[in-house]
Structure 1
Amino acid sequence: MRRGPLTSRGAGALALGLALCAGAHAAGSPEALAFGVLLVSLAVACLLSLYLRRSPARVLRTLRPEAVAVGEECAVSLRISGRSPLPTPGGTWTDVVPAGLIGTASGSLPASLTPGMRETLELGYTVTGLRRGPWTLGPLTVVEHDPFGLARRTRRLGGATPVTVTPRVAPLASLSRVGGDAGVALATAERRGQGADNLIPRPYAPGDSMRRVHWRASARLGELMVREEEQESSPQALVVLDRGTSRWAAAAAAPGGDPAFEVAVSLCVSIAWRLANDGYVVEVVDGDGLALAALAAAPGADERDQLARAFATLGTRSADTLPHLDRALVGRTVGPLIVIAGRLEGDDAPVLARLGHRGALPLLFAADPRLDALAEARRAGWRVAALGDDVEDTWLRGTEATHVGR
């Protein structure tokens, strides 16, 4: 609600002063008239002291970090600078915090008694990511008060600053502990420590250095062979996020709208990050094969931020692509194959059975499995788990689940 320029005390003082002036004229009391004029003059002077001041020239808002994950904190710094011929009164300040963030963005403003000097005021507060999506902080609202508390002036300073709330990347357990029975275990420490180059022999060609001759292979094969370095490629992993609108609540079309879809997005980026750190080259696609993100093996912190930002505004799509997922991924064979779905029906079992052969370790997570949909998927060779509220627990239940051999 918009408030007037006078406080309740100032409005009372002005009303009393006017009443005294009117009563003094009728009663013929110069003392009452003088006191009434004093009160009215004081209220007017307090108003003028606030409204004649020049507004601050600049408001700079700085965020650290500029993008904040759900559940993590962001430090907001405000720097207000300007110059006024009059002393700066005290007051209060409030910064507008959107629904996607939570925090206390308000405080008191100190008064300054040095007129004409250029002043810089530093303010700060902390917000926590609450809902994924693009948001804006600000503008800053400052309410100044005169020393007598009779008048106030409300100003909006500066503009709004964009801030992105990204999905949480949860620390998941390594997949290597369950990869042995599926034939996709990685010895990541040894690979990183010893290198991944293999030496294989090939026939000698003119121009090859004699120092590269593989004498043992030459004796065995009866012709001159040389050593050839072959770079060992990193194993592939594929993560599929089903975005069909009919599989999720209607609110999932907008980022941060559906809690189940938010858990799915967080699980998706967390799995991608975990697999990349396990040594896999990871590709993340939606149900029609559209690429959402890609990660090289052993990524750095910058890649983690880019991955999270890529999913900050993701919502559902109109098409129901799960029934045709095997066609979208035709010709692709990977190690871990992870599918994250919304509603899962028993009728989806045939496509899952065809799709499961594309991965050495197929894992399925469903937010809303119907009837025996998970049992059907398990019989098709998938490790399955219902999507819960806790990303780490969901991942553990999925990776530890038993499956029926295909």
Structure 2
Amino acid sequence: MRRLWPLTARGTGALILAVACFIIANEVGIVELMYFGILLIAVLAASVVSLYLTRRSETVSRSLSPDAATVGRDALVTVRVGVRTALPTAPGTWRDTVPKGLTANAQGVFPALSSGLRGAERIIELSYVATGTRRGIHPLGPLQVTSKDPFGLARRTTMFGERTKVTVAPSVIDLPALSNFAGEAGGTLHTTNNQLGQGADNLIARPYVPGDSMRRIHWRATAHRDELMVRQEEQESTPEATVVMDRGVLRFSPEAMQAPGTDAGFEAAVSACVSVVTRLVHDGYGVEVIDSDGSMLAERIDGGDMTEVEGLVNHFATVTARRDEHLGKLVRVFAGVMTGPVVLIVGRFDPADADIIAPVAHHSTLPLLLAVTPVGDSLERAADLGWHTALIEPDGDLAASWSGAADRGVSHALR
């Protein structure tokens, strides 16, 4: 906040003393007091003027490391201030304006500067650690710098209005791998062999081309031909997985439609979604992320492509709930299709919903259901219909729920 009164406590005291000198000099006729009061006023005026002849800023920029903040995790904010000054300046203080989506102790000492009449603009770097508290895109700034004259009589507070939009991504929880399931649910890149005969001698080799897996190299043929050869019959396939996030607002609260970070249940669902995608892609799955009506929430991510996962997490910083209710359409999305793991993340979930989505379980090698607000025995009913189910809560242990759902069928989040 910009201060309207330019004097410090010391300067205010000097002004009061000067006024007192004028009054006493007028009453008792002591001329020296009049001169002393004039001197104090002159010093105060010079102190105020000196502040406007010294420091001047032209540029303010900010950068984050990493590039996007994450709920519950720290990010280093670096503020670069371009400064020009005609006269040497004393140290001051600075404070950066932090929005509600972040918490930080964004203040410190602004360094003293020497005269820069002949020099170019100097860059002052300020830094602090910020922690994400609310998902979304938030404006960081403006920067406030307070300067004092060398005598500490006057101060000048300057607001540099440049703001930086900071992305606060949802929290990503480290989940255990689906290591207890083989084949399509195993989570690793696997190979299917279609060999024409028995033994390595019956394999047909062809020259290596960029993009072939090193696991397909036929070493005997390579030694014979003196060039890299690969097995032509060996075909690699990446297991597929689908993550479904039902964004229907009726399953959460109306606040979930207004802005990111306003509904705790919806935030738990978003965090679960990006955490599951991160785990599956890390384990080698090609993952599609869709809404309950089959619409894409993100482009398909190939197994092991963690760069695209990072982009997905940042994209989900602005995801909100929607008005329409489409959970009943999920059955048509998987009709006639057999796929790998299907992870359905939903808010409110009642027994009738379990009956509606029952056919989907028979089209997946591992159907998992994560519900924020299950009603009655809905999870048990879904488990009886083939789903592996778990309760997830805003303050619960998502990793325990995920592990329990995959291993035991029905689990409850640890409180």
Tell me the secondary structure at the aligned position of residue 237 of structure 2.
Answer: coil
Tell me the secondary structure at the aligned position of residue 95 of structure 2.
Answer: strand
Q: Percent identity?
A: 43
Aligned twin of 1:219? none
Could you tell me whether the CA contact under 8 Å between 2:2 and 2:158 is conserved in 1? no
1:325 partnered with 2:320: no
Cα drift, residue 54 of structure 1: 4.8
1:147 partnered with 2:157: no
Tell me the secondary structure at the aligned position of residue 170 of structure 1.
Answer: coil
Change (3 A) 1:384 1:211: closer
Tell me the secondary structure at the aligned position of residue 57 of structure 1.
Answer: strand
Aligned twin of 2:355? 350
Change (3 A) 1:235 1:18: same
1:299 partnered with 2:305: yes
Tell me the secondary structure at the aligned position of residue 365 of structure 2.
Answer: strand
Over residues 226-250 of structure 1, what are the superposed CA-to-partner deviations in whole Å (9 max), with x where a residue is unaligned?
x963633222111111100010022
Over residues 116-172 of structure 1, what are the superposed CA-to-partner deviations in whole Å (9 max), with x where a residue is unaligned?
244432211111122111112212110111122221111112511121111122221
Measured in 2, the distance between the counterparts of 1:316 and 1:155 equals 41
Could you tell me whether the CA contact under 8 Å between 2:2 and 2:157 is conserved in 1? no
Measured in 1, the distance between the counterparts of 2:205 and 2:179 equals 39
Tell me the secondary structure at the aligned position of residue 363 of structure 1.
Answer: strand
Aligned twin of 1:160? 163
Measured in 1, the distance between the counterparts of 2:178 and 2:352 equals 29
Aligned twin of 2:94? 93
Over residues 196-224 of structure 1, what are the superposed CA-to-partner deviations in whole Å (9 max), with x where a residue is unaligned?
3634559xxxxxxx999xxxxxxxxxxxx
Matches within 5 A, 1:156-195: 156-157=159-160, 159-177=162-180, 179-180=181-182, 184-186=184-186, 188=188, 191=190
Could you tell me whether the CA contact under 8 Å between 2:83 and 2:124 is conserved in 1? no
Measured in 2, the distance between the counterparts of 1:153 and 1:197 equals 73
Unpaired segments ≥5 residues, structure 1? 203-209, 213-226
Task: Look up the equivalent residue of 1:339 and give its one-letter code.
Answer: L
Could you tell me whether the CA contact under 8 Å between 2:105 and 2:128 is conserved in 1? yes
Matches within 5 A, 1:5-404: 5-116=6-117, 117-118=119-120, 119-157=122-160, 159-177=162-180, 179-180=181-182, 184-186=184-186, 188=188, 191=190, 196=191, 198-201=193-196, 229=233, 231-253=235-257, 254-293=259-298, 294-300=300-306, 302-388=307-393, 389-402=396-409
Cα drift, residue 363 of structure 1: 0.9
Unpaired segments ≥5 residues, structure 2? 198-203, 207-230, 411-415
Change (3 A) 1:248 1:97: same
Measured in 1, the distance between the counterparts of 2:108 and 2:267 equals 33
Measured in 2, the distance between the counterparts of 1:147 and 1:19 equals 24
Measured in 1, the distance between the counterparts of 2:113 and 2:2 equals 27
Measured in 1, the distance between the counterparts of 2:75 and 2:383 equals 42
Computed over aligned residues only, the root mean square deviation of the Cα atoms, in angstroms, reads 2.3
Say how many residue pairs are matched.
373
Over residues 58-90 of structure 1, what are the superposed CA-to-partner deviations in whole Å (9 max), with x where a residue is unaligned?
223222111122222211122222222211232
Tell me the secondary structure at the aligned position of residue 13 of structure 1.
Answer: helix
